Amino acid sequence: MKASASELMRLLPGKASERWPSGAPFIAAMAHGSMSVELYAPIGSDQQTPHEQDELYFIQHGSGTIAIGESQYGFAPGDCFFVGAGVEHRFTAFTQDFSTWVVFGGPKGGESAAALPESTDGSR
């Protein structure tokens, strides 16, 4: 399977709906088993709500700030963030060219923290 950010960006925003009156800011790229990948490119503000699965964000373009729970982090292309299932998170400030890959995976409710490998800074 292959997905191209430049090809997917041409399809955004997606179809307008009651939830997304200006058009959906994401598009499905691929899926396999419990894993799915989307390209996410909100315009103006980030209106997402917590998800049922664990998520990884791989920043593609742009810069800004992401709030995950009570923490805030600056981001730029090449950065990666983990967000556990059900955790409040939002991109609170971002440039107009912002886009990110989002990988959803694992069971609804998320994986057990005990099963996660140690990160490079020794935290989980």
Residue 122 domain-assigned? no
Q: Determine how β-strand 89-94 pairs with β-strand 99-105.
A: unpaired
Residue 62 domain-assigned? yes
pLDDT digit string, tens, across residues 90-117: 999 999 999 999 999 999 999 976 555 5
pLDDT value at residue 24 = 94
The 10 Å Cβ neighbour count of residue 75 is 20
Residue 71 domain-assigned? yes
Residue 119 domain-assigned? no
Domain around 50: 5-12+24-109
pLDDT at 124 over 70: no
pLDDT digit string, tens, across residues 5-36: 999 999 999 999 998 898 999 999 999 999 99
Q: How many structural domains does the chain have? A: 1
